Amino acid sequence: MTSVELRDSILHHLKYSLGKDAEHAVTYDWRMALSLAVRDRITDPWFDATRASYAGQHKRVYYLSMEFLIGRLLQDAIVNLGLLETAQSAFDEIGLPLVDVLSNEPDAALGNGGLGRLAACFIESLSSLGVPAMGYGIRYEHGLFKQSFQDGKQIEAPEDWLQQTHAWEFERPESTYHIGFGGTVTEKNGRSIWEPEDGLIAQAFDTPVIGWKGNWANTLRLWSARPTQIFDLDQFNSGDYIAASAPETLARTISRVLYPDDTTPQGKELRLKQEFFFTAASLRDALRRFDTEYDDLRMLPKKVAFQLNDTHPAIAGPELVRILCDERGMKMEDAITTARGCLAYTNHTLLPEALERWSVDLMGRLLPRHVQIIEQIDAAHAKEKPKRTVTALENGEVKMGELAFIMGHKVNGVSALHTDLMKQTVFKDLHELHPDRIVNQTNGVTPRRWVLGANPRLSGLITDVLGDGWVADLEQLKGLEPHIDDAGFLDRFAAAKRANKTDLVDWVKETHDLDLDPDAMFDVQIKRMHEYKRQHLNILEAIALWQEIRDNPTGNWTPRVKIFGGKAAPGYVFAKEIIHLINDVAAVLNADPVTSKYLKVVFLPNYNVTMAERLIPASDLSEQISTAGKEASGTGNMKFALNGAPTIGTLDGANVEIREHVGAENFFLFGMTAPEVDERRLLGDHAAQAIAADPRLARALDAVRGDVFSTGDAGRHAVIADNLSTHDYFVVCSDFTDYWRAQREVDAVYADQNKWMHMAALNTARSGWFSSDRSMRGYLADIWNAGSALPEK
Ligand code: CR1
């Protein structure tokens, strides 16, 4: 496509799809017109892919996920279609900067963090690999909340990304399913029949996901909830307008927000309903597609793979069994075996509070037949493993992790360490019963978005040296290694980083009116706020460093900016306290005339995918400092390494593998290992011991406890100081001293820019293994037994 053709297509859409005259068009109109013009280019490959999937009778992969953190889609589509330069010239002619048009797009915030972003990377990789696949999820009207700060505290407001027309989706009014809740189960001729009492409609919205070079496109199908009866006219006519629209309001609630606060019984019920709603609709949809091609249900495991992204869709097990048995007449045992042949489960966390459990009371009320089926699944499992079995139903609760494990033919962890810990802890007993079921698939990230799209400067350098084959085969980055010492390579590498940092400095100035020095080290921790991720360890180190600089202001300090970003769950009080502390510390440090040239702290509000794309290419240091054993994998850690930011981190999650790949000498390791953490916790007073042994730590904690950072409201942050100096479950204090040591090592290396850039470039060259293409190949081979439908090259 030439830039003239693209320009004409844009102008055509501006006029005929948006009804705007170019003279009066605002940025929004241009962005929509460009999106529609680009979408037109996706439609043919998308149709071709669908036809090829049917024609080749390929096995289909269905990725069921509560979250798809897709972010902006326009630039991604343009990059994958190879239209970046074309779009650039088209807008040069139109007379508008393309960046302004691209940044007009709202972030689709249909996810919380890593789990949702992983789903988005996987769907893109499946398209790039040409695998017939589909993502299934919920079309949340308001995704994750919008975060802002007031007096340093987190304020939550509803996200409104769907206020504007979503340019990428196709509404499918004909693709609807009735989803039932409640009611009774009756027996007729030996078959159980569930007659739900309430119900609602799941309606599909499709977004095409185009792969690299536009060779293949898959669909992300998101379900929106609608009432069965839109409106009660009798009530309206009698004047009760609110009651008249109650059914609609109630139904819409299901697809309104991501993770409603489930600290209340209503919140819990809503969440379980959401999970069943999208899972049931997705299974029915996949079976409908199967029925158009095959008539023998026993073929199902050969032709269909359902991947459960965490336990949220784990109800798929009993629901698929119910459909096969109650509706299609299969024998219960065959139904269980067939369902298991299709299902596999990815575990993303060992944190007990995140492993879902539902009370049998609640589940029985909403899904009475499913509780019966879960009992039968347990019974069949006990028959299979009579000596010593494990059940999903226990003490009046349904344990969704166990259910997903028992109903999956494969269960995977998301990093080597996490998978090992799964075997030793949460699924120890089940693993002993089924030693072949657990496999590892280390996470990955898509190079199209996270290197090519987000970091054009670095990408340009890589392509100059290697050609563009690396984009679809990221391990080719290894080819950079012999060039690192070539004349000019490191200079160009450093210049790209420096220019990315300058862009960030300009943006921070413009949006937050803060002055940052691009020569300072940009030390970045961006991720959800959680005690196990230990943003408080990071800020404690900042406090200690500030105190030390004040003691010795003429010392040889390496200038640093600590940048934070991340949202705290609305009900997670302590995580919000940490945000408050970081903001208060930032206010004091940034206003200090003596120290602020060496140390600043910035907390950027409303961290999201777009902000990550801005920050990661401009980062020098990647903070991956979780308590060992707690971070299942991490994926941000991979993005930083790829973009040439060495890690300071613990031996946790995929950090372990990153360190193996980039080399121990290019990774700043600190802290206890997972077994050491467990052992340390056995000492009742581990925090007190650590504080007694390290005066720096004691002094920093005193500052937190006192009124140094409390602007007149003394004791404001005492909760944090008290927590850390008493039970300190996440062993912040016990890791502090070693963290401090590692940070000073970082300072020393950074002060030698040549050494630093060498290390940074090696991080890029050696991180190619962390592509989500590699992860997807692993799932295809070890879990799905499926493959690409594209002809071999
Ligand atoms: C983990 O915390 C991992 C992602 C994706 C998260 C993180 O370490 O990288 O999953 N888990 O695998 C999660 O969100 C509900 O659990």
* pLDDT tens readout for residues 584-613: 999 999 999 999 999 999 999 999 999 999
Distance (angstroms) between ligand 1 centre and the Cα of 631 equals 7
pLDDT digits (tens, 9 = 90+) for 235-288: 888 888 888 888 888 888 999 989 877 778 888 999 999 999 999 999 999 999
Instruction: Look at the pTM and tell me if it is higher than 0.95.
Output: yes
User: 206: left (phi > 0), else alpha (psi -120 to 50), else beta?
Assistant: beta
Neighbours of 353 (CB within 10 A): 7
Report how far ligand 1's centroid is from the alpha carbon of 114 (Å).
Answer: 5
pLDDT in tens, 697-717: 999 999 999 999 998 888 899
Q: Mean pLDDT throughout 555-571?
A: 96
Q: Give the distance (Å) from ligand 1 centre to CA of residue 499.
A: 32
Q: Whose CA is nearest to atom 10 of ligand 1?
A: 115
Look at residue 302 in the predicted model and tell me its pLDDT.
Answer: 98
Q: Which atom of ligand 1 is nearest to the CA of 634?
A: 9
Instruction: Flag the least confident range among 230-239, 375-384, 451-460.
Output: 230-239
Among candidate residues 142, 348, 661, 758, the one labeled active-site is: 348
What per-residue confidence (pLDDT) applies to 237? 85
Mean pLDDT of 562-573: 96
Over residues 76-135, the pLDDT tens digits come to 999 999 999 999 999 999 999 999 999 999 999 899 999 999 999 999 999 999 999 999
* Contact assessment for residue 420 and residue 387, using Cβ atoms and an 8 Å cutoff: no
Which is the closest atom of ligand 1 to the Cα of 114?
4
Note the pLDDT of residue 408: 98
Active site residue 528: yes
Query: Is the ipTM value over 0.95, yes or no?
Result: yes
- Per-residue pLDDT of 675-689, as tens digits, reads 999 999 999 999 999
As a whole number, the mean pLDDT across the chain is 96
Q: Is 28 a residue whose pLDDT tops 90?
A: yes
Decide if pLDDT at 371 tops 90: yes
Ligand 1 atom at shortest distance from the alpha carbon of 418: 8
Catalytic residue list contains 639: yes
Query: DSSP assignment of 726-752, as one string?
Result: TT-TT-HHHHHHHHHHHHHHHHHHHHS
Residues within 6 Å of ligand 1 by CB: 113-115, 118, 310, 348-349, 354, 414, 443, 631-635, 653
- Is the Cβ–Cβ distance between 651 and 417 less than 8 Å? yes
268 has catalytic annotation? no
Query: Rounded mean pLDDT of 381-409?
Result: 96
Give the distance (Å) from ligand 1 centre to CA of residue 348: 5
**If you search the block for the tokens 């459990």, which residue do you land on?**
357
- Tens of pLDDT, residue by residue over 421-477, are 999 999 999 999 999 999 999 999 999 999 999 999 999 999 999 999 999 999 999
Q: What is the pLDDT of residue 566?
A: 98
pLDDT of 793 higher than 70? no
The pLDDT value given to residue 606: 97
Tell me the domains of the chain and their CATH numbers. Answer: 1-56+82-106 (no CATH), 59-72+108-353+408-443+777-784 (3.40.50.2000), 520-770 (3.40.50.2000)
CA–CA distance, 375 with 380 (Å, rounded to integer):
9
Provide the pLDDT for residue 792. 79
* Ligand 1 center–CA 694 separation, angstroms: 33
Q: Whose CA is nearest to atom 5 of ligand 1?
A: 115
Examine the pLDDT at 163 and tell me if it is beyond 80: yes
What is the per-residue DSSP string for 519-533?
A: TSEEEEEES---GGG
Ligand 1 nearest atom to the CA of residue 528, by list position: 2
Q: Please check the confidence at residue 791 and state whether its pLDDT lies above 90.
A: no
Mutate which of 69, 259, 347, 348 for ligand 1? The one with the most ligand atoms within 8 Å of its CB, which is 348
**Angstrom distance (rounded) from CA 530 to CA 528:** 6
Measured from the Cα of 351, ligand 1's closest atom is 16
Q: Which of 58, 117, 448, 527 is catalytic?
A: 527
**Which residue among 117, 346, 349, 652 is best mutated to probe the pocket of ligand 1, counting the most ligand atoms within 8 A of its Cβ?**
349
Average pLDDT estimate for 747-769: 98
Once rounded to an integer, what is the mean pLDDT over residues 483-491?
A: 93
Q: For the chain, give the longest Cα–Cα distance.
A: 88
Which of 31, 528, 567, 580 is labelled catalytic? 528
Q: Annotated catalytic, 661?
A: no
Nearest to 614 by CA among 572, 571, 647, 565: 565
Q: Which residues pair with 60 in a beta bridge?
A: 304
Q: Give the Å distance between the CA of 297 and the centre of ligand 1.
A: 34
Residue to probe by mutation, ligand 1, list 115, 534, 772, most atoms within 8 Å of CB = 115
Residue among 533, 560, 562, 774 flagged as catalytic: 533
* Annotated catalytic residue 527: yes
Q: What is the pLDDT of residue 265?
A: 87
Rounded distance from Cα 14 to ligand 1 centre (Å): 41
- Position 381 scores a pLDDT of 97
Provide the pLDDT for residue 4. 96
Give yes or no: 744 in active site: no
Helices (H), 513-593: 535-551, 573-590
369, 530, 567, 639: which one is catalytic? 639
**pLDDT score for 238:** 86
Q: What atom of ligand 1 comes closest to residue 354's alpha carbon?
A: 15
> Across-strand partners of 669?
649
Rounded percentage of the chain residues whose pLDDT exceeds 90: 92
Burial letters for 719-731: b for 16+ Cβ neighbours within 10 Å, e otherwise?
Answer: bbbebbbeebebb
**Index of the ligand 1 atom closest to the CA of residue 635:** 9
